[in-house]
Chain A
Amino acid sequence: MGTEFDLILKKYKQGKREDLIPMLQEIQEQLGYLSEEAIVNVGSYLGLSTTKIYGLATFYDRFRFIPSGRIHISVCNGTSCYINGSQSVINKISEEINVQPGLTTRDGNFSCEIVSCMGGCHNGPVINVNGEYHTFVKASQLPELIKKLMYIIEND
């Protein structure tokens, strides 16, 4: 683990606070989330207090402190998707996978997040499941979709 951080950290100049966010982004890309170890490492590399790093990271929505699920669902809640019914899609997903947006299920299978406008407004509500878009989503289709995804996880 140590070397993994080192490789990322080495790309940046020591002590340069402007690089903090890119560093965290890169670590998150590799690790899937920001672990405490990562925050401590970045802190000592940049000479920043971990409080400040944690304070910064929690300000922004994109940083996670728990790994995302094997299946990660982003749901668009932009205006267009909203007026086409994204709220019920969000509710249904939370209900089906049994976890609030922004969190990961205890078994690590699912996580879900809300984003604003994915850029496919005409096809809304839009959701994205592990990189794959689903368009014109209706709440009623979700139980089946989740069942299918469960099946994929179980047979993986």
Chain B
Amino acid sequence: MQELKTFLINKVLLFESDTLLPETEKILQKIRREKPGNPVIYLSSGTSSIIAGSEKTSSAIKAHISENGLAADFIEVGCTGPSNFEPLVCVHLPGKNKLFFRNITEEKVEPLLNGVFHNDLSEEDLAGQTGTRGFEVWPGIPFMDELPFFANQKRVVLSNCGCYDPESIEEYIARGGYRSYVKAIRHYTFEEVCDIVERSGLRGRSGGGYLTGLKWKHALNTSASSRYLICNAKESDPGAFTDRTILESDPHRLIEGIAIASYAIGASSAIVFMRSGSDHAKNRLQNAVEQARQYGIFGHNIFSSGYNLDIVIRIEPGAFVCGEETALINTLEGKRGMPRLKPPYPTSSGLLGKPTVINNVETLMNVPVIMHNGPEWFRTLGTENSPGTKVFAIAGKGRMSGVVEVEMGTSVRKVLEDIADGIREGREFKAIQLGGSSGSFITSENLDVKIDYESLRERGIGMGAGGFVVIDENTCMVDLVRYYMEFIRNESCGKCIPCREGTGRMLEILESVIRKPMNEESGTTLERFKGVMQLETIASVMKDASLCGLGQNAPNPFISALSNFRDEFEEHIFDRKCQANICRGLRSFSIDVEKCTGCTACEAKCPVNAIYGTRLQPFFIVEDKCIGCGVCFDICKFSAINVK
């Protein structure tokens, strides 16, 4: 091991020429397991795999190998992308193309591996094959990269994900990793690195789209005794999991990005600010940091360059708003995570008053690639003003879901129809929700909009951080807006009035729309209507006057839903109906006289005494009184209660 480390450092990392020696390449090829002598079994092992049961699959595979005395290697890799294929197993038989099998739960391991090793493949579980020249092709089996899910992606940031063992720095180095960093600290000045990134046109991927190189220069040009780089891996939008996937699948690339960025701004401390509850991601990252430290990526006078850098991982203690940069800084300083006034901006006075750059995970993941391939190459990807790619976490009602990456400029339709493969069986498409709780909806009229900062902004849509939720007809938009508003109301830090009170009022008004009035006083139609009239004023003042992005963007889902689905709102308000049948409060209940035995069970349980009748005679529900709670429906043993 020690030998391998010395070799990798001297012959790869510190090797001065861009092309490595052929004998070095040979060894690296082996590390990369390009032409394995023994069969290799790969299992993807991200959180989404674990949730789907991959840990049990893993034990089953190990047991199978040892019980059968197979001369096979077993490697757990990161996430390949399609989470509906999880647990995803790949088998690489020497000399043949790799075969991928989907949904291999524990009990399928035995038959699968028996089949593979005895040339008896089960069609049902097969996802596809991949291979390079020189390997034997499996006849009649589709190629993975020709599946629409992959064919329409452009995996730059995710290029390593699912391809290597995230717990092995050796593999990362063998795949070209850390060379850009070593080159940067040994041969470039701070400014030069900033320049390269600025020229590449890379923009912050957390949603705002600020030019990364420019931000770095601000910090670099602020004179100070020390500076900080913070990687914002907070990611806690409900329904987002791109950063986590990256941390689990390619932690070393992120570390390299952080290291290069730190160098670029002359920071000697870097901090990764992670969301809580992602233990798997944290362990992987922690392990990767340890390995990197052993390899001298961090430390004092790194590779004799005179540059010092260390890194710490901090776990966020649970508040959405502390993803906002100034709140994040407060959290790191041991204070309540409430946003601060800007100016001063973090680049001039951030953590402990020092210039601080805060970058998103995905932003930093682009940095090593840019350093390696050059800014001009990066500009060939994507559009003029939004070069590069964008990673999305597709979730919701699409047929495929998972973490995907497309070139900027790709249309939303393509992502929906080709990559996500449309809506699940038998349902109608309704909308795409982009950008989570502060994002907006894209309906079928807008599906052709191109994913880049300008095109989206033109239509009033924010790029967001990568949430891409597919919504079908079975989702009620009013309820969904209420859901986002509830989330934001709970997450508002409470500092400023428009956001703290505004989110509360908006939520209460939306709740009054989807709920039947408990009593006349709190919710006559007129009151409800008055409330709705105020929603738009409150929303506009929140956008205009809130202190931070949370409050400013909180009304977005509402505004966007109202303009796209006005009829649905009106139906709720005036007709008191929910077509998607989601809003429980609007259901109307009645008793089927034929079926009712008059057992009195429902009468006893109705919380508002809306049920009347005489014992052993059919009962009836007074509609005006009923609040639609559904208790009677659940309690009736004779299915005598109808819901509409």
Q: Interface of A with B (CB < 8 Å)?
A: 17-22, 24-25, 46, 55-57, 59-63, 74, 77-80, 82-83, 115-123, 126, 133, 135
Contact = CB atoms under 8 A, between A and B. Distances in A.
Interface of A is mostly: helix
Contacts of A122: 48, 52, 83-84, 86, 395, 401-402
B264 interface: no
Contacts of A19: 334
B52 A121 contact: no
A61 B321 CA distance: 11
Given A82-B238, A121-B239, A133 B334 contact: no
B628 interface: no
B319 A20 contact: no
Interface string B468-508: 01010011000010011001000001000000000000000
Contacts of B322: 60
A123 B51 contact: yes
B334 A21 contact: yes
B436 interface: yes
Interface of B: 46-48, 50-53, 83-84, 86, 236-241, 244-245, 276-278, 314-320, 322, 331-338, 352, 393, 395-397, 401-402, 433, 436, 467, 469, 471, 474-475, 480, 483-484, 487, 493
A128 to B, nearest CB: 9
The listed residue with most A CB atoms (<10 A of its CB), out of B237, B319, B322, B335, is B335
Task: Report, nearest first, the 5 A-B pairs whose CB atoms are least far apart.
Answer: A120-B51, A79-B239, A61-B318, A62-B318, A20-B334
A121 B336 contact: no
Contacts, number: 133
A61 B276 CA distance: 10
Contacts of B493: 59
Nearest to B52: A123
A82 B334 contact: no
Given A21-B334, A115-B277, A116-B238, A60 B319 contact: yes
Given A116-B238, A121-B239, A79 B396 contact: yes
15 contacts: A17-B335, A20-B334, A22-B315, A61-B317, A61-B318, A62-B318, A77-B238, A78-B238, A83-B474, A117-B236, A117-B240, A119-B51, A119-B244, A120-B51, A123-B52
A53 B207 CA distance: 33
A56 B396 contact: no
A62 B317 contact: yes
B339 to A, nearest CB: 12
B333 A17 contact: yes
Contacts of B53: 133
Contacts of B318: 60-63
B334 A120 contact: no
A122 to B, nearest CB: 4
